[in-house]
Amino acid sequence: MKNMNNRKIGVFDSGLGGLTVVREMERFLPAENVIYFGDTARVPYGNKSKSKIIEFSHQIMRFLLRHDIKAVIIACGTASSNALEELQESYDLPIIGVAEPGASAAIRATRNGRIGVLGTAATIRSGAFERLIRKENQDLEVFSQACPLFVPLVEEGWFREDVTRQVVRRYIAPIKEAGVDTVILGCTHYPLLKDLIQEEMGEGVRLINVSEAATLQMKDYLEEHDMTSGLDKGEYEFYASDSIDQFRTFSEQILDLREVAVSKINIEKY
């Protein structure tokens, strides 16, 4: 009989940034089978309406459900902030976003009670991180900043170019001025700019990697519910709605996998 715990964990993002979640899964959940979908044809989600983000997320869930999954990580700050509750109510399997784990990690990390949030326009507009933080502790102050240029810069692989540093410096200026001691990188693309952001914020500021936080929450969930894989090492499947060559180049830069095979699908038929 097939071990049901060896079913795949679905991971999806608007593009390539969610591969930072896969990178954390290589570290913390190496025995799990993973299927990843990047919606590279419709990236970025940050400038889309809430209804459109929910529509796209349902299409991706229907695709993933055809691949024998046992759980899902929404590796997209925008989809996590705008579609998580809708998906959790619609599908009978554990679905974890990146907003709640990231907010919880920031609450634990802050020392002066002033937390910064960097996210896409849609994520900041949703107020999800601020709402989650205030739900836990009304006394904490939250300073949010939309960073719409971060995703395209990361998708281009421009992690340390001068233009990227200038954009980072411009976006973080208000939260730096606010005196935050903790900053949530509220999009899974942003950990790839972590070094630059850290340099500009200063070493005394703690950066919260939502990709790591979400992976650790999934690890805890699987262990608590006796759902961990019985395999020695998991296998990975990658799908994209466009830009397979860019996907492969990007993934080989940040993952430990020797070879990345990517299949292109028409997500709009789901």
pLDDT in tens, 168-198: 999 999 999 999 999 999 999 999 999 999 9
Phi-psi region of 113 (alpha: psi -120 to 50; beta: other; left: phi over 0): left
Query: pTM for the complete prediction?
Result: 0.93
Q: Quote the pLDDT of residue 1.
A: 39
Quote the pLDDT of residue 2: 57
Q: Which domains does the chain have, with CATH numbers?
A: 4-97+212-269 (3.40.50.1860), 99-210 (3.40.50.1860)
Confidence category of residue 260, pLDDT binned at 50, 70, 90: confident
- Measured over the CA atoms of residue 250, residue 156, residue 214 and residue 41, the dihedral's sign is negative
Whether the pLDDT of residue 237 is over 60: the answer is yes
* pLDDT tens digit sequence for 199-229: 999 999 999 999 999 999 999 999 999 999 9
Among 70, 67, 61, 126, which residue's Cα sits nearest to residue 90?
A: 61
Residue-averaged pLDDT of the chain: 94
Instruction: Give me the active site residues, please.
Output: 76, 187
